[in-house]
């Protein structure tokens, strides 16, 4: 039987040998998503089954809609770990760089034992780096490595891995969704992952407030740059008004991008103390959302990036539109030349 | 290699033998969806490749968002077929009964050569019936039968089959989403189906009007029956106001159902001439949406049903709530007893 990740098999074997018997901290990124929590849960369960003392650590809490995966595990916050001065072998998952989990965790776990990740920009900041930028999700890598190594995958582990693949492929529709994604999803369903339960937990447990927030966001949509950009705004105070939180904006920017003819969707949030937060989504990687975000000290992928900056909203709006207009011009010129 | 649909392989072989050389009409249901059009396209392309003269027939037009699948094929409407008095061997796809394509097509193609379907209620109205109610989509059955028979599947055929699986599984999250669905989806991706292109065509080509319609629908949501039912309304004239059509309400009722604690979501549309149209969606089959719809001369599945009736909107609303309240009581009593 061919391996799913033949290049990583040797390193994963070495990781298991070198960490044998040691207590482990599995660290995810700030504002954790389904692939982050799914990866942490799955790796924690597999390592715990192999006899390790394992904890999971994040700068931010596990989002409400992902708590169905965390039963039986302890998720620590940064303060808990620093207060207890927990010393463990650290494995970073789904983090493109060491700082993605926060500077304080970076300082505490200064030499990570390993990282498992699928981000193109990951340069390999750990002792052992298990990276495949061709994978759609870190959970895809973990699922493949577990199967390649013949490790048992129980139903909740399968559910966690499946959740990561579902969320990071946008329900199997982002460009990185491959034959391998489907093969692995099938294997996980065979082992007890339930597409219906995952779908229910992720998408059918909304609050009335979240739908109200979505409604207000949709009402705010404005098309700019001759129909190529669509921007929606969530003004200051809207979370309090609707009984929601920043977590509830997840996926909202996709509506802005979904309009025919629109190439770039933007969500702008006015946060307290003059902070502007923005999510940028492009239909095509040529628009380089990561670069646009970087102009405001943000980052991300070519099609999906984000930023958070102290700036007047109007000024931000103007500067963002200038950059987007210029980028659209650059792409149009490049397209004409080829 | 084990077959995907071992029980159907013999009948599918017989169908191909018996129809050899004959002109064929592939008939789908009224208000065709992704699984219907996907099935028609895929079967038409495979039969055309085998030398058949093939047309596709529907009572209603191919929805705008599915036209990316129909290149190179002719989709006829009922009138076209009746006017030309087209006589062909008829294969019905994705139709639970003979009348689902309309009474006029039923009369014209009185003895269908075959039907391919996944609906539980399909009693087998054709000469050869290729039915598997365990399949999530008719496209799943077709994909499996083509592969089982070793028939070539080109990229556009794969794309059509993949589209049917995506839409009828609700993007791989309805309960019928099985290991087999994922295996077949993977095989189709191997043969040229593009999850990104299908996702773009289905979900990223919205009109601004449709988002406005969604916004107005969300603003209309009201929770009833102690939070167990959520109803949204689209008043008369809203399609004209937003530049949309009835086709654009697809998927909207799912927002009503998606709220935590809500068991049943309802979309009520005021149509011209005093007609009320409603879509009913339950989180659990016990609520029997098909029976509620039947009380208003509608029908469907236990979790998803619909109706269209000439009735005063207020009266409809009251009668519907009475029936839903009673059904919620019945389910609660049954749950207590078990």
Distances (CA, A) of B248 to A48, A227, B57, B68, B210: 49, 21, 22, 17, 6
pLDDT at residue number A302 = 87
**Are A22 and A139 within 8 A, CB to CB?**
no
Tell me: the pLDDT tens digits for A219-261? 999 999 999 999 999 999 999 999 999 889 988 999 999 999 9
Instruction: Return the CATH number at A214.
Output: 3.10.310.30
Residue B285 maps to a domain: yes
pLDDT at residue number B188 = 98
Distance between CA atoms of A207 and A213, rounded to whole angstroms?
10
| Separation of CA A12 from chain center | 22
Tell me: the pLDDT tens digits for B88-132? 999 999 999 999 999 999 999 999 999 999 988 899 999 999 999
Based on the domain organization, do A173 and A266 belong to the same domain? Answer: no
Task: Flag whether pLDDT at B208 surpasses 90.
Answer: yes
Based on the domain organization, do A258 and A187 belong to the same domain? Answer: no
Nearest to A173 among B181, B199, B218 (CB): B199
Domain end among A154, A175, A203? A203
Based on the domain organization, do A111 and A226 belong to the same domain? Answer: no
Residue B40 maps to a domain: yes
Nearest to A283 among B177, B181, B204 (CB): B204
- 3-state helix, strand, coil split of chain B in percent (to 5) is 45, 20, 35
Task: Flag whether pLDDT at A263 surpasses 70.
Answer: yes
Based on the domain organization, do A131 and A213 belong to the same domain? Answer: no
Nearest to B186 among A174, A179, A206 (CB): A179
Tally of domains in chain B? 2
Based on the domain organization, do A16 and A154 belong to the same domain? Answer: yes
Nearest to A258 among B179, B196, B204 (CB): B204
Based on the domain organization, do B312 and B328 belong to the same domain? Answer: yes
Using the Cβ of B222 and the Cβ atoms of chain A, whether some distance falls under 8 Å is answered with: no
**Across residues A303-307, what is the average pLDDT?**
90
Based on the domain organization, do B140 and B283 belong to the same domain? Answer: no
pLDDT at residue number B174 = 87
Tell me: the pLDDT tens digits for B134-180? 999 999 999 999 999 999 999 999 999 999 999 999 999 988 999 99
pLDDT at residue number A224 = 95
**Across residues B33-45, what is the average pLDDT?**
97
Which of A196, A173, A201 is closest to B203 using CA atoms? Answer: A173
Based on the domain organization, do B215 and B235 belong to the same domain? Answer: yes
**Are B202 and B160 within 8 A, CB to CB?**
no
**Across residues A159-170, what is the average pLDDT?**
96
Place of tokens 């968002």: B65
**What is residue B29's three-state secondary structure?**
coil
Q: Which residues of A234-261 are buried (b: 16+ CB within 10 A; e: fewer)?
A: beeebbeebebeeebbbebbbbbbbbee
Based on the domain organization, do A50 and A156 belong to the same domain? Answer: yes
Using the Cβ of B197 and the Cβ atoms of chain A, whether some distance falls under 8 Å is answered with: no
* Confidence bin at A170 (pLDDT 50/70/90): very high
Domain end among B203, B218, B238? B203
Domain end among B203, B236, B257? B203
Residue A217 maps to a domain: yes
Using the Cβ of A211 and the Cβ atoms of chain B, whether some distance falls under 8 Å is answered with: yes
Which residues in chain B touch residue A199, judged by CB atoms under 8 angstroms apart? 170, 172-174
Residue B1 maps to a domain: no
Which residues in chain B touch residue A206, judged by CB atoms under 8 angstroms apart? 258-260
What radius of gyration, in Å, describes the C-alpha atoms of chain B?
Answer: 21
Mutate one of B170, B195, B227 to test the A interface: name it (highest A CB count within 10 A). B195
Nearest to A199 among B173, B190, B208 (CB): B173
Place of tokens 């809609």: A65
Tell me: the pLDDT tens digits for B243-275? 999 889 988 999 999 999 999 999 999 999 999
Based on the domain organization, do A86 and A196 belong to the same domain? Answer: yes
User: In the predicted model, what is the mean pLDDT of chain A?
Assistant: 95
Nearest to B177 among A173, A179, A195 (CB): A195
Q: Tell me the ipTM for this assembly.
A: 0.91
Residue of A nearest to B188 (CA): A179
pLDDT at residue number A154 = 98
pLDDT at residue number A335 = 84
**Across residues A84-108, what is the average pLDDT?**
93
Tell me: the pLDDT tens digits for A17-36? 999 999 999 999 998 999 99
Tell me the percentage of chain B whose pLDDT exceeds 70.
99
pLDDT at residue number A68 = 97
Task: Flag whether pLDDT at A338 surpasses 90.
Answer: no
pLDDT at residue number A299 = 84
Q: How far is B172 from chain A (nearest CA, A)?
A: 7
Using the Cβ of B203 and the Cβ atoms of chain A, whether some distance falls under 8 Å is answered with: yes
Using the Cβ of A220 and the Cβ atoms of chain B, whether some distance falls under 8 Å is answered with: no
**Are A132 and A33 within 8 A, CB to CB?**
no
Residue B294 maps to a domain: yes
Provide the domain limits for residue B242: 209-337
Distances (CA, A) of A197 to A156, A205, A207: 11, 11, 18
Based on the domain organization, do A120 and A240 belong to the same domain? Answer: no
pLDDT at residue number A162 = 98
Which of B11, B9, B10, B47 is closest to B26 using CA atoms? Answer: B47
* Confidence bin at A300 (pLDDT 50/70/90): confident
Q: How far is A304 from chain B (nearest CA, A)?
A: 15
Q: Which two tokens stand for residue A259?
A: 């309009």
Instruction: Return the CATH number at A105.
Output: 3.90.1640.10
Which residues in chain A touch residue B198, judged by CB atoms under 8 angstroms apart? 173
pLDDT at residue number A232 = 97
Residue A40 maps to a domain: yes
Using the Cβ of A255 and the Cβ atoms of chain B, whether some distance falls under 8 Å is answered with: yes
Nearest to A182 among B186, B196, B212 (CB): B186
Based on the domain organization, do A21 and A124 belong to the same domain? Answer: yes
What string of DSSP letters covers A62-74?
PPGGGGGG-TT--
What string of DSSP letters covers B113-171?
SEEEE--TT----SSEEEE-TTSS-HHHHHHHHHHHTT----HHHHHHHHHHHHHHTTT
Using the Cβ of B282 and the Cβ atoms of chain A, whether some distance falls under 8 Å is answered with: no
Residue of B nearest to A177 (CA): B195
Task: Flag whether pLDDT at A8 surpasses 80.
Answer: yes
**Across residues A160-169, what is the average pLDDT?**
97
Task: Flag whether pLDDT at B338 surpasses 70.
Answer: no
Cβ <8 Å between A207 and B260: yes
Cβ <8 Å between B208 and A223: yes
Mutate one of B68, B165, B172 to test the A interface: name it (highest A CB count within 10 A). B172
**Across residues B313-326, what is the average pLDDT?**
96
Residue B14 maps to a domain: yes
**Across residues B172-196, what is the average pLDDT?**
96
Residue A1 maps to a domain: no
């Amino acid at each position: 039987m061919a391996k799913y990740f033949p290049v990583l098999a040797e390193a994963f074997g070495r990781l298991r040998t070198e960490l044998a018997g040691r207590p482990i901290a599995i660290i995810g990124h700030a504002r954790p998503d389904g692939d982050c929590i799914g990866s942490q849960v799955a790796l924690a369960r597999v390592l715990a089954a192999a006899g390790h003392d394992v904890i999971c650590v994040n700068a931010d809490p596990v989002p409400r809609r992902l708590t169905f995966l965390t039963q039986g595990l302890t998720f620590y916050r940064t303060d808990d770990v620093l207060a207890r001065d927990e010393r463990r072998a650290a494995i970073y998952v789904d983090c493109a760089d060491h700082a993605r989990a926060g500077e304080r965790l970076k300082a505490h776990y200064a030499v990570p034992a390993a990282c498992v990740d699928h981000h193109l920009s990951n340069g390999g900041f750990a002792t052992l780096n298990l990276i495949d930028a061709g994978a759609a999700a870190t959970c895809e890598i973990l699922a493949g490595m577990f199967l390649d190594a013949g490790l048992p995958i129980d139903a909740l582990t399968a559910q966690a891995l499946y959740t990561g693949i579902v969320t990071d492929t946008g329900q199997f529709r982002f460009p990185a969704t491959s034959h391998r994604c489907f093969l692995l999803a099938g294997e996980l369903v065979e082992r007890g992952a339930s597409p219906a339960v995952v779908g229910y937990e992720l998408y059918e447990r909304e609050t009335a407030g979240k739908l109200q927030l979505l409604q207000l966001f949709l009402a705010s949509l404005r098309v700019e740059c001759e129909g190529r950009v669509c921007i929606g705004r969530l003004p200051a105070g809207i979370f309090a008004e609707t009984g929601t939180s920043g977590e509830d904006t997840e996926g909202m920017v996709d509506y802005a991008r979904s309009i025919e003819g629109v190439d770039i969707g933007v969500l702008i949030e006015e946060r307290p103390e003059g902070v502007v937060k923005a999510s940028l989504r492009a239909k095509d990687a040529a628009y380089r959302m990561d670069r646009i975000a970087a102009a405001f000290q943000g980052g991300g992928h070519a099609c999906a990036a984000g930023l958070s900056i102290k700036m007047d909203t109007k000024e931000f709006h103007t500067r963002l539109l200038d950059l987007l207009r210029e980028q659209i011009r650059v792409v149009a010129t490049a397209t004409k030349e080829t």
